[in-house]
């Protein structure tokens, strides 16, 4: 039996961080990850939160990393331990997070160019997300990387171009540290 918990980023221990970072590295390409030290530095940010699903022994099965602002919530990463995928853990964790939100929730996805990308988008659509048609790039997360063309999905509704621009500007300034 797994259980959803909130890890307070100010009291996360090294073991929990290592478990989360290992799942992160196994689940995302380098272009979508900060360095270990960059990721660890986020734990000091008051708007950055980690949510987990753990097994009965307290091991982390899945995590959701989100930025929470007054007008929106941004899910930066959600991933399940590769050995525990396809068991509904990620769906439960995301559903639980969405049920607690009274504001728009955003996430970034790769454009629907291949089968894997379309399946991932379908997963989020089944949770109530909408793929928005606006051009978007993720700024580099590591030195020397290029911008990454992505798309924004929103829940519970698609957004207008005006809302998209406002949300994008919040992400660029607050999450990625850019000036717009």
Q: What is the pLDDT of residue 54?
A: 87
Residues 67-83: tens digit of each pLDDT? 999 999 999 999 998 88
Does the pLDDT value for residue 155 go beyond 50? yes
Question: Is 87 inside a domain boundary?
Answer: yes
Q: Is residue 145 part of a domain?
A: yes
Is 65 among the domain residues? yes
The model's confidence at residue 173, banded by pLDDT at 50, 70 and 90, is very high
Q: How confident is the model at residue 12 (pLDDT cuts 50, 70, 90)?
A: confident
> Three-state secondary structure along the chain?
CCEEEEECCCCCCHHHHHHHHHHHHHHCCHHHCCCHHHHHHHHHCCCEEEEEEECCCCCEEEEEEEEEECCEEEEEEEEECHHHCCCCHHHHHHHHHHHCCCCCEEEEECCCCCHHHHHHHHHHHHCCCEECCCCEEECCCCCCCCCEEEEEEEECCCCCHHHHHHHHHHHHHHHCCCCC
Tens digits of per-residue pLDDT, 112-154? 999 999 999 999 999 999 999 999 999 988 888 889 999 999 9
Domain that holds residue 67: 3-175
- Asked if residue 180 is part of any domain, the answer here is no
In a domain, 82, yes or no: yes
pTM of the model: 0.90
Q: What is the pLDDT of residues 29-67, one digit of tens each?
A: 888 899 999 999 999 999 999 998 888 888 889 999 999
Number of separate domains in the chain: 1
Here the CATH number for the domain that contains residue 121 is 3.40.630.30
Region 75-97 average pLDDT = 87
């Amino acid at each position: 039996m797994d259980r959803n918990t909130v890890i307070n980023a100010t009291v996360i221990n090294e073991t929990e961080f290592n478990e989360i970072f290992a799942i992160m590295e196994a689940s995302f390409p380098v272009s979508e990850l900060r360095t270990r030290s960059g990721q660890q530095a986020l734990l000091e940010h008051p708007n950055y939160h980690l949510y987990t699903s753990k097994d009965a022994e307290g091991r982390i099965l899945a995590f959701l990393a989100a930025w929470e602002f007054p007008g929106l919530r941004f899910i930066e990463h959600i991933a399940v331990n590769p050995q525990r995928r396809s068991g509904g853990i990620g769906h439960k964790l995301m559903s639980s997070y969405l049920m607690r939100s009274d504001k728009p929730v955003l996430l970034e996805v790769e454009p629907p160019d291949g089968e894997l990308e379309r399946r991932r988008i379908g997963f989020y659509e089944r949770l109530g997300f909408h793929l928005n048609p606006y051009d978007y790039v993720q700024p580099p997360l590591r030195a020397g990387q290029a911008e990454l063309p992505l798309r924004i999905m929103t829940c519970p509704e698609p957004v207008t171009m005006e809302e998209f621009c406002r949300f994008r500007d919040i992400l660029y300034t607050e999450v990625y540290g850019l000036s717009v």
